[in-house]
Structure 1
């Protein structure tokens, strides 16, 4: 009888700072070794407990990796016989191995991608689960998407057509890199009133959504290898922009008050910049306390570092008086404010904006001109009318009331169906909430169970670079009707109660 394989022979190294969760890294490494023949058919693998001890990870991590391998037929598990590499047919093994083999590097042939390009490709692969779940029409709890079914498309079409006939011929030549000035003026007025942002239209730069804003800032302010704080758990798009700039990511924990500034200081006191979502942290949904905001501002002033404030969905606040934007509290001109219309109106309207300190304008404009000169103009013209004529404010009021009803419906349904199992937080703003799992329950395992039953939801650990002491479900409520949310919760309850 073959003995269990000593873990040293697998040469497995897991990266706590990689974008991929640890269980996924372990699964991919074991799968690759099985397909390559490094782990021979029939060989007995260590138990999940032993493997976890050897790798220095939680047992949930090894159990999830084994579960995926078992489901796909790469390993077998029998009572009294442990876990062994499955006896795959050699032809199937060779065929499967082709799909996971890295392209061979012939002598003298360069890789087609730069290191940053490969890093972004790897990050995108680990984010596939997010993309599929976020866009899946079968998921009642889609995260990060607004309801686009109630947008006044006929009104928008009339505004676009009017501008195409009347104004576009006069502005058909190249425009200023910062974007259409009347739109910048309308935005400056709006965020000055609603968010306390202190700026002039000349400080605004229009971008291709918030992602374009993050990319522009990262390109302009970061040198390769410089440190940047990121919220952990946090927004994958922010990490992607930093990876594209070849920054060194410093995952800083988030607690009930938001980003833990003291923890950030201990990890990297002189980081070049930090990206935060203080109004409605993504994905934990907490609001950064005033004390933490002032602490973060003081750190940036002392360290001469930049704060990137991503205010992605602050328009949808349901209760309480919103805390003033960080930018409005900043007396040292260290905050760069980001807003977007993609989350508020509809995602394919790729329009966002930056509010930047005057000292940064020349550099950002220079980089902007080399990237894409300026955003398409026709949508800027139509959006200007949409705001100035009052349609924007009316639409916000309508959708805010609708999202509030859906949030309350989801909370009520979760409380009735799963109140004894999940700890549900009530977000004061935004389009999603967090439902905390019991301390000993694995989020990854629950996600796998629900996905198998046609309910592809997300866990908090999906967005985390470090292992979490406690996981949670991240549940969007903006895209589904109250009835769809109630049905989704019933399906979720069946999946959770049926777990083995």
Structure 2
């Protein structure tokens, strides 16, 4: 006889083939122990009649179970549940280990990783105002991008379909090098450019390759949560360095954390406060790196969006000693879904990073790189940046008007000459985390400032204005004003 579970799996209204349903029913009965080891099954003819299916259906199910080792065939005697599986391996546990209070064994690295906060948005990934770090998705040049993709996929060169260079597609590295030399003051050749899967992979590679577990690293306080997560998951000691109007206080770092082997900075537009690292501090930082043999990790995450004058030159262009690793990304200037970034490496680090890149991710997607390379070569990239720079400047001005209208007294904002978000510092008695939750209930996304601090946390809110058209911003500001008035 067959257990009821086999019949229970049969449902002719499903798209799942009947032989797979028979297979699943028998497999489950074996795993649950309903069908014991060495139990003799009915013949395929008898089972097909019992189930009301064709004999071929049962034969296909038996073949799969025989291949996977659940059944064994005895010549001239029939088909049996295999006798080689011990009872303990085919018993289906009624209670999960976690429900018994037993934790699965994890590596120390995994345990550290679970304790690290990567972003405030993992639990709310939706696209809505006023989420920070979000470009204007609806204003992307989709038609031009579609044409490029169609042309490259129509008859792609075989080199784009095979395993490619771990450094990335050469024409893309050439385009990035040319762009950085002209617009960011970065001094590099295409050989120094390494394509990554976004800036996060670049941060992860640099921290693991250049520092050992337990080493110390300077980080701006407040600073970027994603970078802190990469460092902490690598077992590094993150040393918070306070900021003033000139940016990271290098002398504070030298005095309090002289053993540090790396400094992570966002010098062109500090995240999240928007401060620019002064020339004096840049030279101090480079001198410290030279004298101590330390590294500088320069994250230039959205330096293109400066609304007054031309974008500031990168710190990397001042480096004479090969101590700066430059990190760039296309997530903010194009789309987060593009998932492409890059590192600019000192020449003596190139081979090391190529080797590591090939181990963790082998290579970036070939055709996607070719599309981006042509987009940069034909001027589409710079045209898009110019359009977005103008659009974001207008959206910042419009947001400031909305803020003045809907929450004028207790959420102060100052215009910023760059970036894609604004910060409002909260007065005494307010909790930014509480306000973030109230905003979420009102259907609005804002980010709390306090989690960006490692010490002496200040309360504040980050409002991303760049990614949202006026009609969406109007509705969000109105709903947020109502929610916040209740809190006030």
1:493 paired with 2:481, answer: yes
1:87 is aligned to none
User: Which residue among 113, 126, 142 is the counterpart of 1:136?
Assistant: 126
Could you tell me whether the CA contact under 8 Å between 2:300 and 2:326 is conserved in 1?
yes
Could you tell me whether the CA contact under 8 Å between 2:221 and 2:243 is conserved in 1?
yes
2:153 is aligned to 164
1:184 paired with 2:182, answer: no
Q: After TM superposition, give the deviation of residue 99 of structure 1 in Å.
A: 12
**Structure 2 vs 1, CA of residues 118 and 104 (structure 1 numbering), >3 Å: closer, same or farther?**
same
User: Which residue among 221, 242, 246 is the counterpart of 2:210?
Assistant: 221
Distance in 1 (alpha carbons) for counterparts of 2:455 and 2:157:
50
Could you tell me whether the CA contact under 8 Å between 2:160 and 2:367 is conserved in 1?
no
Query: What is the correspondence of 1:243-392 to structure 2 with a 5 Å cutoff?
Result: 243-392=232-381
User: Which residue among 412, 421, 442 is the counterpart of 1:423?
Assistant: 412
Higher mean displacement: 231-240 or 443-452: 443-452
1:120 paired with 2:108, answer: no
1:473 paired with 2:464, answer: no
Could you tell me whether the CA contact under 8 Å between 1:208 and 1:375 is conserved in 2?
yes
Q: TM-score under structure 2 normalisation?
A: 0.76
Higher mean displacement: 373-382 or 411-420: 411-420
Q: After TM superposition, give the deviation of residue 224 of structure 1 in Å.
A: 0.8
2:398 is aligned to 409
2:444 is aligned to 455
Paired residue secondary structure (2:102): coil
Q: TM-score under structure 1 normalisation?
A: 0.74
Deviations 1:31-54 (A, max 9, x none): xxxxxxxxxxxxxxxxxxxxxxxx
Give the number of aligned pairs: 393
Distance in 2 (alpha carbons) for counterparts of 1:147 and 1:490:
21
Could you tell me whether the CA contact under 8 Å between 1:308 and 1:335 is conserved in 2?
yes
Q: After TM superposition, give the deviation of residue 440 of structure 1 in Å.
A: 4.3
Distance in 2 (alpha carbons) for counterparts of 1:475 and 1:99:
43
Could you tell me whether the CA contact under 8 Å between 2:420 and 2:465 is conserved in 1?
yes
Q: After TM superposition, give the deviation of residue 439 of structure 1 in Å.
A: 4.0
**Structure 2 vs 1, CA of residues 114 and 102 (structure 1 numbering), >3 Å: closer, same or farther?**
farther
Distance in 2 (alpha carbons) for counterparts of 1:453 and 1:257:
37
Deviations 1:159-188 (A, max 9, x none): 123223344324433322211111111111
Deviations 1:195-248 (A, max 9, x none): 100111111101101011111111211111111122222112111221232111
CA-based RMSD of the aligned residues comes to 2.2
Could you tell me whether the CA contact under 8 Å between 1:290 and 1:323 is conserved in 2?
no
Could you tell me whether the CA contact under 8 Å between 2:439 and 2:446 is conserved in 1?
yes
Distance in 2 (alpha carbons) for counterparts of 1:261 and 1:421:
33
Q: After TM superposition, give the deviation of residue 325 of structure 1 in Å.
A: 0.5
Q: After TM superposition, give the deviation of residue 127 of structure 1 in Å.
A: 4.6
Q: After TM superposition, give the deviation of residue 416 of structure 1 in Å.
A: 3.4
Deviations 1:134-182 (A, max 9, x none): x323x41111121211222232222123223344324433322211111
**Structure 2 vs 1, CA of residues 426 and 119 (structure 1 numbering), >3 Å: closer, same or farther?**
same
Distance in 2 (alpha carbons) for counterparts of 1:424 and 1:288:
21
**Structure 2 vs 1, CA of residues 445 and 170 (structure 1 numbering), >3 Å: closer, same or farther?**
closer
Q: After TM superposition, give the deviation of residue 100 of structure 1 in Å.
A: 9.9
1:194 is aligned to 183
Q: After TM superposition, give the deviation of residue 455 of structure 1 in Å.
A: 2.9
1:483 paired with 2:476, answer: no
Deviations 1:347-399 (A, max 9, x none): 11111110010011111111112112211111111111111111111111111
Q: After TM superposition, give the deviation of residue 486 of structure 1 in Å.
A: 2.8
Deviations 1:295-341 (A, max 9, x none): 21121112111111111111111113432100011122211111111
Could you tell me whether the CA contact under 8 Å between 2:119 and 2:225 is conserved in 1?
no
Indicate the structure (1 or 2) with the bigger Cα radius of gyration. Answer: 2
Distance in 2 (alpha carbons) for counterparts of 1:310 and 1:102:
45
1:153 is aligned to 142
Higher mean displacement: 449-458 or 311-320: 449-458
Paired residue secondary structure (1:498): helix
Q: After TM superposition, give the deviation of residue 131 of structure 1 in Å.
A: 2.7
Q: After TM superposition, give the deviation of residue 266 of structure 1 in Å.
A: 2.8
Deviations 1:89-121 (A, max 9, x none): xxxxxxxxx99989425xxxxx53211112112
Deviations 1:234-272 (A, max 9, x none): 112111221232111112223332222222223311211
Gaps of 5+ in 2: 1-95
Could you tell me whether the CA contact under 8 Å between 2:161 and 2:367 is conserved in 1?
no
Paired residue secondary structure (1:455): coil
Paired residue secondary structure (1:338): strand
